[in-house]
Chain A
Amino acid sequence: MTNLVVKDLNKRFGGLHVLKGVSFEVDGPELIGLIGPNGAGKTTLTNILDGAIKPNSGTVYLNGHRTDQLQPYEVARAGLGRTFQVTRSFRRMTVLENMFVPALALDRGHNRAEINQKALEVLEFLTIDHLRNEYAQALSGGQQKLLELGRLLMLDPEIVILDEPFAGVHPRLMEVIYRYIERVNGAGKAIILISHQMDSIFTLCRRLLVLNYGDLIADGVPDDVKRDPAVIEAYLGAEEGEPDAGQEGRVQP
């Protein structure tokens, strides 16, 4: 059973206190939405969970092993995978080569034929299998997002952090991403979904974490969070916490 314990994380950049004692736990295959206005500390939290930056204080335990002082590759091998807010495909490598990188990095004893078979299955699921031999730079922005998600499936982590997976994506590709989230979560993996697309967050997530300028101001089921006065004041802004459907679910800054 997946278990992530984040305890009292603090991070400062110069005079900015970006994370202020953030604590939460993830138990089992939860589907958690992490929301907050720009500058709330979402990406910093992700970078600390991923090992890319170290906290000033606080701890992160993944399945009982402390990970906050590990290198990103060690965290990935320990079972935490992530995507980036701005898509970071390996542009001058083919789609298949992109898929091979995490599979070979894990070195789980699979031969290349097995990895190739799994990669093709994942690409087909993501509807980009026809692009398998193209360089990633030839893909559209949305297709590159799908490729990044595909690489995560090859990594097969216990916890997946998806940073803005719906940003700038065509509705048809959003359907694919929805199916992807269902597949990953259905396979028993926990997902932390960071997004400004409130419709998607409220549709998919069964628990919400709300960050506001480094403070974790809410942690609960979506209906409760929507009614939380602190959240309404800090983030949602709409009457009684209802997302603004007239703006395609986007939160107004």
Chain B
Amino acid sequence: MSKQHTPQLAGLVLIAFFAIFPFVYSANDYPYIMHLLITGFFYAILASSWSMLAGYAGQFSFGHMGFTGIGAYTTALFIHYIYISPEATNLCTEYAIGDQFLIFVNPIGITSSTLTQDCLRQALEIWDGSVQVTAMPVWLGIALGTIMGGIFGLLIGLLVLPLRAAYLALFTLGFSEILRATISAELAITRGQAGIELPHLFENGLTLFGRTFDKTDKLPPYFVMFFLLLTCLGILAWLSKSKFGLFVRALREDQDAAAALGVNTTRYKVLVFVITSMMAAAAGAMMAHYIGIITPNNLMILQMSLVVAMAVIGGVENFVAAAIGAIIIEFTLELLRNSFEVGPFVVDMTIWRLVIFGILLMVTLRFSRNGIISPMIDYFFRGHVAKETVAKRATGTSP
């Protein structure tokens, strides 16, 4: 096996480790560690897709968390407001489809006196258990959230076409904040800061290989998120090896030169927004169903900064490095929470851990601009290049 295959082998070992871990780990903090890993996978999807957008294509967007919000709120609103009923409520907006009715529940906001008084609940009270309504499937909500992320990615991609560098960053930051503010303001529909509750990924439990999991078990969402991460990484790997990867990197380096060489820069700039936005939206929708509630705070700029920092520390020009960086940092930030005493002083690590994180980010940017993990991968892939160049020059006709 050559040195160049080491990263692939390490990748397979990592995948095997994460696939086996839930079955061999049995300490008391099992649910907590599993939760950390699920969250780590979520951030790994965001960091790796942002790495494709910013590191490969050079589109420094700060709207990535906005797309997770679009995915999460699309599935939340879809499942919260749309039902199928065999009977007409005669209270809600409803459409007959065959012998069923598609019910649109009216938005009533978060006033305590009206919280349980939407049109469907009133109808259910009237029916007194004689009619069973069906909620929309979670997976359809997640799929819709992913598609909606892609549609918004297309719109933002088209809008930012003439923008570069700081202007692009500020535009996307503005988009994300407008989205957050709109969701906060539209109390009647989104319930504002109170958030919308969502059913769990497996609301009715799951039976697999003779073992039954209830809706709060960590194992099913762990593998769902892990599978989504692997799918996203697989797509990113395929894209990076294809002409798409080559063109978006050319776009990053010099958009005008790429266009002069026949690259349709508009198409690839928009495409990279669509693809990475869909990944963020899928992760956001999945995470919202795992947590069980979505609030506008999930879209805060602090969250976006965390994703950026994870990608930068891992290595923004390598999506695998960004994903690994995200998982490591998610764990490190959590494990650093334990406060300790030094003599009479109590070091409150809930605060100081963020200082350590900030220092790590600054040191990385100053001394290793392509992160900590990415140079290690580069060492195996490109460590031989300098020697080869010298050897070819010695044997060739080059000046």
List A residues at the B interface (Cβ < 8 Å): 50, 52, 71-73, 76-77, 81-82, 84, 88-93, 97, 100-102, 104-106, 124, 127-134, 151, 155, 172-173
Bound complex: CA A130 to CA B394 (Å): 9
Q: Are B256 and A97 in contact (CB under 8 A)?
A: no
Number of A-B contacts (CB under 8 A): 99
What is the minimal beta-carbon distance from A23 to any residue of chain B, in angstroms?
Answer: 24
| Contact pick for A76, options B246, B250, B261, CB 8 Å | B261
B249 lies within 8 A of A134 (CB)? no
In the docked arrangement, what's the CA distance between A105 and B268, Å? 11
The answer to whether A133 and B396 have CB atoms under 8 Å apart is no
Q: Are A52 and B261 in contact (CB under 8 A)?
A: no
In the complex, what residues of B have CB within 8 A of residue A155's CB?
261-262
Interface string of B134-151 (1 = CB under 8 A from A): 000000000000000000
Interface status of B90 (Cβ within 8 A of chain A): no
Mark B362-399 against chain A: 1 for CB-CB distance below 8 A, else 0: 00000000000000000000100100110011001111
Q: Is the CB of B253 within 8 A of A90?
A: yes
B246 and A100: CB pair below 8 A?
A: yes
> Judging by beta carbons under 8 Å apart, are B253 and A127 in contact?
no
Interface size class of B (residues with CB under 8 A): 20 to 34
- In Å, the complex CA distance between A93 and B264 comes to 18
Find the B residue at minimum CB distance from A76. Answer: B262
Which among A84, A100, A172 is the interface contact of B399 at CB below 8 angstroms?
Answer: A172
Are the CB atoms of B260 and A128 closer together than 8 Å? no
Q: Is the CB of B399 within 8 A of A127?
A: yes
Answer yes or no: B181 CB below 8 A from chain A CBs: no
Q: Which of B252, B260, B388 lies at the interface centre, i.e. has the most chain A CB atoms within 10 A of its CB?
A: B260
- Determine chain A's interface SS by DSSP, over half rule: helix
A sample of 6 inter-chain contacts (CB < 8 A) reads A72-B259, A73-B260, A84-B260, A102-B262, A106-B262, A173-B399
The residue of chain B having its C-beta at the shortest distance from the C-beta of A151 within the complex is B261
> Which B residues touch A131, using CB under 8 A?
389, 398
Q: Does B243 contact A (CB under 8 A)?
A: yes
Bound complex: CA A102 to CA B250 (Å)? 10
Known contacts A76-B260, A101-B263; can you find 19 more A-B pairs with CB under 8 A?
Answer: A52-B256, A52-B260, A73-B260, A73-B264, A88-B257, A92-B252, A97-B246, A100-B243, A101-B250, A104-B243, A105-B247, A105-B263, A124-B397, A130-B396, A130-B398, A131-B389, A131-B398, A133-B389, A155-B262
B125 close to chain A: CB less than 8 A:
no
B254 touches A (CB below 8 Å): yes
Nearest residue (CB) in A for B390 is A130
Establish whether residues B260 and A127, one from each chain, have CB atoms under 8 Å apart when the complex forms: no
Of A76, A81, A130, the residue contacting B392 (CB under 8 A) is A130
**How far, in whole Å, are A116 and B314 apart by their CA atoms in the complex?**
32
- In the complex, A52→B255 CA distance in Å? 11
User: Are B262's CB and A93's CB within 8 A?
Assistant: no
Given contacts A129-B392, A133-B388, whether A50 and B254 have CB atoms under 8 Å apart is: no
A98 to chain B, nearest CB (A): 8
In whole Å, how far is A21's beta carbon from the nearest beta carbon of chain B?
Answer: 26
